[in-house]
């Protein structure tokens, strides 16, 4: 199901995940029993072993419980404090960002989705995000690949080629242009054709087919074609 794509790895390194943390962690019926109640640290571990492992990641959390936070060169954990919601923080960050089109916002909150899409960012619903992480966690490491998100048919094909994005995820995304640096990579990425070339029949095969039909019938058919 997965393809290893060097360009996908390069592009994933340029993507930024902005995660509505509690919205993701409070999804029900998706995580298997062994991953239930994983918390922030467990979530970052799943991302680190997924196709999104090359992305920069910001986890936005309501409240002030900084003890649960995680920090690493690629991971930032932001607690919004008692007077501001994670929803507002995410929307403000996207609106103020010069790289909104390079950002994939993870949330199922419709108000956030509407606001960040209007500002040019892409979205993936929390339930799809978790399913993707669990799916990747069950793969051998050698078969994991990096891939997020854009999209008319042309742009959708480019994203699917570079990142091997699942079609159901591409369908959710807005029809926007790829960022320039990603568009250049997409133009260079060969898109594999799914059509199988037709095999030419050999003269032996044709003769064999002729033998299966009475010669008189073949002659009648030829007369109808070439009177």
- What is the pTM for the complete model shown? 0.61
Residue 218 placed within a domain: no
Helices 126-137 and 39-48, axial angle in degrees (round to 10): 60
CA pair distance 148, 164, nearest whole angstrom: 8
Q: Which residue has the higher pLDDT, 219 or 29?
A: 29
DSSP string, 38-52: -HHHHHHHHHHTSTT
What percent of the chain is helix, strand and coil (3-state, nearest 5)? 50, 10, 40
**Domain-located, residue 14:** yes
Q: Is residue 32, in this structure, part of any structural domain at all? A: yes
- Containing structural domain, residue 154: 6-188
50 within a domain of the structure (yes/no):
yes
pLDDT tier at 204, thresholds 50, 70, 90: low
108 and 23 Cβ atoms separated by less than 8 Å: yes
196 belongs to a structural domain: no
3-state secondary structure of 22: helix
Q: What is the CATH number of the domain that holds 176?
A: 3.40.50
Express each pLDDT in 5-24 by its tens digit.
Answer: 333 443 455 689 999 999 99
pLDDT computed for residue 157 by the predictor: 55
**Residue from 124, 118, 123, 187 nearest 155 by CA:** 187
| SS3 at position 192 | coil
How many domains would you assign to the chain? 1
Using one digit for the tens of pLDDT, what is the confidence trace for 66-99?
777 777 888 999 999 999 999 999 999 999 999 8
Q: How far apart are CA 155 and CA 14, in angstroms?
A: 17
Q: What is the average pLDDT across 194-215?
A: 55
Residue 201 domain flag: no
Q: Which secondary-structure segment (H or E) carries 31?
A: none
Q: Are 207 and 187 in contact (CB under 8 A)?
A: no
User: Could you tell me if 181 and 187 are in contact, meaning their C-beta atoms sit under 8 angstroms apart?
Assistant: no
| Residue 215 belongs to a domain | no
In a domain, 157, yes or no: yes
pLDDT digits (tens, 9 = 90+) for 116-169: 999 999 999 999 999 999 988 887 665 555 444 444 555 555 555 544 454 555
Q: How many Cβ atoms are within 10 Å of 221's Cβ, its own excluded?
A: 11
Over the chain, what is the mean pLDDT?
A: 73
What share of the chain in percent tops pLDDT 90?
A: 36
Residue 56 DSSP SS3? strand
The dihedral built from the CA positions of residue 134, 135, 138 and 139, taken in this order, carries a sign that is negative
The winner for highest mean pLDDT among 3-17, 90-104, 187-201, 205-219 is 90-104
């Amino acid at each position: 199901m997965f393809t290893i794509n060097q360009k996908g790895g390069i592009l994933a390194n340029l993507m930024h995940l902005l995660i509505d943390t509690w919205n993701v962690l409070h999804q029900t019926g998706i995580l298997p029993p062994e991953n239930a109640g994983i918390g922030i640290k467990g979530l970052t571990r799943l991302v680190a072993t997924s196709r999104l492992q090359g992305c920069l990641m910001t986890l936005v959390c309501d409240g002030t419980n900084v003890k649960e936070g995680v920090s690493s060169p690629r991971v930032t954990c932001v607690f919004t404090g008692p007077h501001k919601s994670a929803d507002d923080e995410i929307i403000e960050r996207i609106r103020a960002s010069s790289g909104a089109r390079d950002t994939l916002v993870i949330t199922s909150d419709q108000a956030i989705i509407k606001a960040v899409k209007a500002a040019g960012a892409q979205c993936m619903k929390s339930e799809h995000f978790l399913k993707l992480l669990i799916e990747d966690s069950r793969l051998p490491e050698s078969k994991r690949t990096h891939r997020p998100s854009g999209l008319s048919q042309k742009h959708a094909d480019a994203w699917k080629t570079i990142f091997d994005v699942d079609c159901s995820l591409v369908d959710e995304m807005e029809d926007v242009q790829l960022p320039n640096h990603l568009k250049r990579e997409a133009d260079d990425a060969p898109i594999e054709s799914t059509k199988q070339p037709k095999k030419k029949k050999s003269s032996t095969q044709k003769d064999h087919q002729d033998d299966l039909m009475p010669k008189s019938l073949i002659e009648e058919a030829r007369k109808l074609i070439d009177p």
